[in-house]
């Protein structure tokens, strides 16, 4: 079942987010987004950065987190622990 994740990172800015996206291989002409990602949106908040993802399953996100994202965090100089809200997707819409 699809899962939504809202991840809020206090103290993070666009430069840090962009560095992590680059380290994770998700930016540029050779970007390869992982299997299982349905949608990704990110942007600034009043105290940091927010990422909203929809994944095909929690297991696919967990695999991406451990194999790709956490190493990218380390290479980019670390990240604060996010506040994460997880929810099961009841309905979704995607404009093609």
Task: Report whether 39 contacts 55 (CB < 8 A).
Answer: no
50: left (phi over 0), alpha (psi -120 to 50) or beta: beta
pLDDT mean over 11-28: 95
pTM: 0.91
pLDDT confidence bin for 85, thresholds 50/70/90: very high
Question: What's the CATH number of domain 3-88, 1.10.540.10, 2.40.260.10, 3.30.70.100, 3.40.1500.10?
Answer: 3.30.70.100
Coil/strand/helix, residue 90:
coil
Contact 28, 72 (CB under 8 A): no
- Per-residue pLDDT band at 93 (split at 50, 70, 90): confident
**Distance of alpha carbon 65 from alpha carbon 69, whole angstroms:** 5
pLDDT in tens, 28-79: 888 989 999 999 999 999 999 999 999 999 999 999 999 999 999 999 999 9
């Amino acid at each position: 079942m699809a899962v939504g994740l809202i991840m809020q990172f206090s103290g993070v800015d666009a430069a840090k987010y962009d560095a992590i996206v680059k380290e994770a291989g998700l930016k540029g002409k050779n970007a390869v987004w992982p299997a299982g990602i349905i949608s990704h949106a990110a942007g600034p908040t009043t105290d940091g950065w927010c990422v909203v993802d929809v994944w095909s399953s929690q297991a696919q996100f967990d695999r991406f987190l451990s194999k790709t994202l956490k190493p990218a965090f380390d290479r980019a100089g670390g990240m604060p622990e996010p506040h994460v809200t997880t929810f099961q997707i009841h309905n979704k819409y995607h404009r093609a």
